[in-house]
Structure 1
Amino acid sequence: MSSNGEHDGALPGKLRFQAEAAETVDELRTTNDSLPEEHTIPPSTEWATRRRELWSYYLFYIGNNGLAGFNFGPSQFQNLLFLAGYDRDKPPFSTPCVSSSVCVLPFLGSVRDVNSIVLITNGISFAIQAVIFLMIGAWADYGSWRPNITIGFTMIAIAVSFGWLGVEDPSKWKTGIALYMLGLIAYQGALTFWTAAFPGLARNLPEMQESKAKVVSGEKGLEDHLVLDSLSRNRISNISFTVSSAGEILILAVMIGILKGVKADESVEKNTRAFSILIAFAGAAWFVCALPWFIFEKRRPGLPLPPNTSFFTIGFIQAYQAFRECMKLKQTFLYLIFYFIIIVSYSTTQLTYLLLLGITTQMIGIYAFWRAQKYFALTTKTMLIFNVFWILLLTVWGLVGIWTDRFGFKNVWEVWAYQAYYGLMVCPWYAYSQTMISEVIPSGKEFLFFALFSIVGKTSAFIGPFVSSAIIDASHGNNNTPFGFLLALGVLSAILLVTISVPKSRLECEAFLKAEEENSGR
């Protein structure tokens, strides 16, 4: 072992890592008279990532864990709809909903099933997200005001969390719709633009700046620098998820105490009130965890605005140019297709059975994957392929249940086994999929492309349950039949992932940036 903890032997993984980096450098030199500018300019120590900034980045994700906007918020929303609704087979508002009745409410000009109301509001919020994220994502890549985007989304999400304290009565279910949609958009906005900051943090780590300085002076090869760059990105991504899991365990422990304190199980009214209190507590915890990031994040300069543009027009121009030049980013869009397909498979599996995540095993799994990657010097793509294999195995597990009642998510012990399996083998997807995004998108365009991937991921997760529901209905209620469809999608996505070339992607990204520069007249 070397002094920095990396393995010094000529391991197969390390050789593949170095070969990939060497291929990138060779092709960069083949297609250019010299190496791209970003590899020849000495680093600026002014923007170096210091320990307190890095740990404040990790701490932020403890707060932005989704408990408010992604877990308890939707639960409270559905709870209010059920309590406010009435039995479809009875006169309007004459008979409260029970578990065996079809619960309905008037919404958007029609009387609708409350489940339909949830799906419609999800669809509307996703559409709003798509427009906002594409425009703001482009803005964020210019100037130095990008931290304000994360701050803005975060403060809106926290305000929504406290807003739920005033929505405990079922008669306020329409207000609940507004809070639910606003909470989803704000939570996803804060998460997306916080995530997009990690490639910049990795590039400015002291060891990365030292490595780049040696490349510029000729003391070190670019191949070794690219290997360190990828490992640095994976380190930040994996450690942030590990720290978040540890913090979330503590928050959940406090929440259990809150539930006991308010005696949530005694009545429907107390249960509804408990939901609102938990959401507000999650918002308060988020605020405490977010403050250090707001203070210590450095406002690193983004790209200069192109001539004849402004912050009011750059979003539209960038979105147009990104789609116009998309064929130059074949590897990026291959990964985008993979990302869409695998999320349909993966998220629907999770939603179908509504199982709680095993947070403790998630923490262990993500950290164990990172330690293995670091020790064996494995590429991000290799780790992602390994992770996707276990996601496919999960769909096989469910598929078996089509032909037997003994196995396939049909036993209590399988619920516990699923939790452990999910945390250990599936949750690393969260970290590695984000790192892979950072390795196949143009440098300096992180916020625009992370916004694009966020939109694709959410659209995919939204479509998946509809497809699965249709398959279940067509099979006369067999809840395991969707796993055949999900397995086929998973295999297709795995094939796409294997065909993606990170070295080729770097070349395509260079071509994309050059074309954009020429088109903008810079």
Structure 2
Amino acid sequence: MTSNVDKSQLSEEENVTRNDEQPLTSRAELWSYYLYYNGNNGYTIYSYMPVILQYLAYRGGFNPETNGPCDIQDALKPCNVHWLSSSVPVSSMLLYVQAIAFSIQLLLFTTFGSLADYGRWNRYILFTATVISCLFQALPIVLINDDGSHWPLMMAVMIIGLIAYGTTLVFYAAVFPILSDNLPAVREKGEDPEKWRNHVSTISTTWSNVGFVIVSGILAGVSFVQYNGGDLGDAPMYNFIGTVFCAGFLALNAIPYFITMPKGRKGPPLPPNSHYLTLGWTSIFEALK
């Protein structure tokens, strides 16, 4: 994300993040920053969405031993889905989806990651990624009655959701040095900026875990609601409900941050002779020398 620079460059960047052009970090802005991570806890990305993809793939797949439909009641029996010109087990397909998403993120963040740290682009990209993340976390609900024939659509939804979620994490994490450096305790009282950077980072991470616990508790309670003679948690629709709830929880917690963020909030300028699109790759090459 941030390239390795010498001490003089680092000092210049810290001066930029703590000068009169930067608004002081208000209590509302700081706590809305924490609240954002409370909602953006990644619960559905690594729980409900993979389960939904697996469920739809089992419904739309076939047993390679019999060429008949897969047994969705027994995950131990083989189940394949068509993949390019051949077929692969559903479990392998799930791994491919993760690999595709993370490969795309590697290219995107190495090329565009400097936009998170430098200049004014952070707020716009974080907002866009948050909207996309909310949307694609909720989208699986349209497949709630699907017969499994549209499992590739769910695969695409999950890949985009993973990329959007990863983007929010990168651009969110890039903000905390700017917020901590412009706290009144640092700007006006001259306290150690590193101390407050660690403080803001630790508290924000704690709030992410708090959000995870809140979502877990609420949805665990919902799972015991009676539905069709059994627990709702045992019904496939429970996972679809979970994705919509998590999307709404993210939106509810993210909105205050974009409201309280002052217009003058920005990162330091690019280092001399650098470009947004090449800074990440240059940093990698320098690290490998």
Bin of the TM-score, shorter chain as denominator length: 0.7 to 0.9
Deviation at 1:175, TM superposition (A): 1.0
SS at match of 1:185: helix
Is the contact made by 2:127 and 2:258 (CA closer than 8 Å) also made in structure 1? yes
**209, 229, 232: which one aligns with 2:196:** 232
Deviation at 1:304, TM superposition (A): 4.0
Q: Which has the larger radius of gyration?
A: 1
| 1:427-466 alignment runs, 5 A limit | none
SS at match of 2:267: coil
Is the contact made by 1:63 and 1:290 (CA closer than 8 Å) also made in structure 2? yes
Aligned to 2:227: 263
Deviation at 1:158, TM superposition (A): 0.6
Is the contact made by 2:141 and 2:241 (CA closer than 8 Å) also made in structure 1? yes
* TM-score relative to the length of structure 2: 0.84
Aligned to 2:94: 118
Aligned to 1:174: 152
Percent identity (aligned) = 30
Query: 1:80–1:177: structure 2 CA closer, same or farther, 3 Å change rule?
Result: same
Aligned to 1:288: 252
Query: AA paired with 1:283?
Result: A
Q: CA separation in 2, counterparts of 1:39 and 1:186? A: 29
Is the contact made by 1:258 and 1:278 (CA closer than 8 Å) also made in structure 2? no
Aligned to 2:282: 321
Query: 1:291–1:163: structure 2 CA closer, same or farther, 3 Å change rule?
Result: same
Is the contact made by 2:178 and 2:267 (CA closer than 8 Å) also made in structure 1? no
| 1:403-442 alignment runs, 5 A limit | none
Larger helix proportion of the pair:
1
Q: CA separation in 2, counterparts of 1:255 and 1:192? A: 27
What does the per-residue CA deviation read over 1:442-473, in whole Å, with 9 as the maximum and x for residues that have no partner?
xxxxxxxxxxxxxxxxxxxxxxxxxxxxxxxx
More relative contact order in 1 or in 2 (CA 8 Å, sep 6+)? Answer: 2
Deviation at 1:320, TM superposition (A): 3.8
Is the contact made by 1:68 and 1:280 (CA closer than 8 Å) also made in structure 2? no
* TM-score relative to the length of structure 1: 0.48
Query: AA paired with 2:236?
Result: T
Are positions 1:186 and 2:186 aligned together?
A: no
Are positions 1:44 and 2:9 aligned together?
A: no
Deviation at 1:145, TM superposition (A): 2.6
Deviation at 1:137, TM superposition (A): 1.0
Query: AA paired with 1:229?
Result: P
Aligned to 2:3: none
Query: 1:209–1:251: structure 2 CA closer, same or farther, 3 Å change rule?
Result: same
Query: 1:165–1:265: structure 2 CA closer, same or farther, 3 Å change rule?
Result: farther
**71, 75, 79: which one aligns with 1:96:** 71
Aligned to 1:153: 129
Query: AA paired with 1:208?
Result: V
Deviation at 1:54, TM superposition (A): 0.5
| 1:120-519 alignment runs, 5 A limit | 120-168=96-144, 169=146, 170-212=148-190, 228-261=192-225, 263=227, 266=230, 271-298=235-262, 299-304=264-269, 314-326=275-287
Is the contact made by 1:143 and 1:301 (CA closer than 8 Å) also made in structure 2? yes
Deviation at 1:179, TM superposition (A): 0.9
SS at match of 1:111: strand
What does the per-residue CA deviation read over 1:302-360, in whole Å, with 9 as the maximum and x for residues that have no partner?
34468998xxxx333213432343369xxxxxxxxxxxxxxxxxxxxxxxxxxxxxxxx
Query: AA paired with 1:325?
Result: E
Deviation at 1:50, TM superposition (A): 1.0
Q: Which runs of 5+ in 1 are unaligned?
A: 1-26, 213-224, 329-522
Is the contact made by 1:59 and 1:290 (CA closer than 8 Å) also made in structure 2? yes
| 1:12-91 alignment runs, 5 A limit | 36-37=11-12, 43-44=19-20, 46-91=22-67
Is the contact made by 1:105 and 1:112 (CA closer than 8 Å) also made in structure 2? yes
What is the number of residues matched between the two proteins?
A: 278
Is the contact made by 2:54 and 2:94 (CA closer than 8 Å) also made in structure 1? yes
When the two chains are superposed, the root-mean-square deviation of aligned CA atoms in Å is 3.1
Q: CA separation in 2, counterparts of 1:99 and 1:84? A: 14
Q: CA separation in 2, counterparts of 1:284 and 1:234? A: 30
Query: 1:128–1:194: structure 2 CA closer, same or farther, 3 Å change rule?
Result: same
Q: CA separation in 1, counterparts of 2:61 and 2:189? A: 62
Deviant stretches of 4+, over 6 Å: 39-42, 267-270, 306-309
Is the contact made by 1:50 and 1:205 (CA closer than 8 Å) also made in structure 2? yes
Is the contact made by 2:62 and 2:80 (CA closer than 8 Å) also made in structure 1? yes
Q: CA separation in 1, counterparts of 2:161 and 2:228? A: 23
Query: 1:182–1:253: structure 2 CA closer, same or farther, 3 Å change rule?
Result: same
